[in-house]
Amino acid sequence: MTTDVGSTLLASLNNALVLAISFVPKFVIGLIVILVGIIIASIVKEVVLQILKTLKVEALLKRYGVPEAKDDLTWTNILSETVRWFLIIAFLVPAADIWGLPRVSVLLNEFLLYVPNVFVAAIIALVGFVVARIAHNVIQASAKGLSVETANTVASVAHWAIITFVTLAVLNQLGVATDLIRILFIGFVAMLAIAGGLAFGLGGKDTAADILERIKKKLG
């Protein structure tokens, strides 16, 4: 009985030792893959950082009213750091496969598939802020027949209407409460249509009355 127990323990220890020894090469290869990924990701981050600095992205975004990032972070640093971590995670996927961690690999793959949505949402947000600022400035400059206060009001309404539209588009791209966002988007468009119809109707009421009066006079 004692001999059987000892043999079982010895066999278990031998199996564990064999598994550990066989895992060491896999662990080393996976570690090398991750280190190579970190090096490549750091190089790409610096390249992206220099490109964004050369293009003066920060000054351009600030000029068109994009909110500044807080503390020492800048949009340039955020974008370059995001690219770095995307590449690191991309190299973690084959490392997890080498180490025999299929669930971790599946999770990382799902994350990588979601990251492009974040990039697209960020681009939509940045472009939206720029378009909103341009629309504000154009309306403010072209409303010559209106008072300064009225022109500012119209420009602000257009600015915030675009910001709201962009916010809904960003949330929809991120997949956050898609059905709710779709309902809010339809409601927002309907609100603008109704508001525009009322404004046009009320504003053109006197003009329409004058036209009808002239028609009456000609017919009479």
Contact criterion met (CB below 8 Å) for 91 and 37: yes
pLDDT of residue 214: 60
d(CA 112, CA 88): 11
pLDDT of residue 213: 64
Q: Residues in the chain with pLDDT < 50?
A: 202-204
pLDDT of residue 46: 92
Note the maximum CA span of the chain. Answer: 125
pLDDT of residue 156: 81
Within 13 A of 57's CA, how many CA atoms are on the CB side?
Answer: 17
pLDDT of residue 11: 67
pLDDT of residue 35: 93
Single out the residue of 80, 85, 108, 91 nearest to residue 35, CA to CA.
91
pLDDT of residue 39: 94
Count of C-beta atoms within a 10 Å radius of residue 99: 17
Single out the residue of 93, 77, 80 nearest to residue 34, CA to CA.
93
Question: What's the pTM value of the predicted model, to 2 decimals?
Answer: 0.60
d(CA 194, CA 201): 10
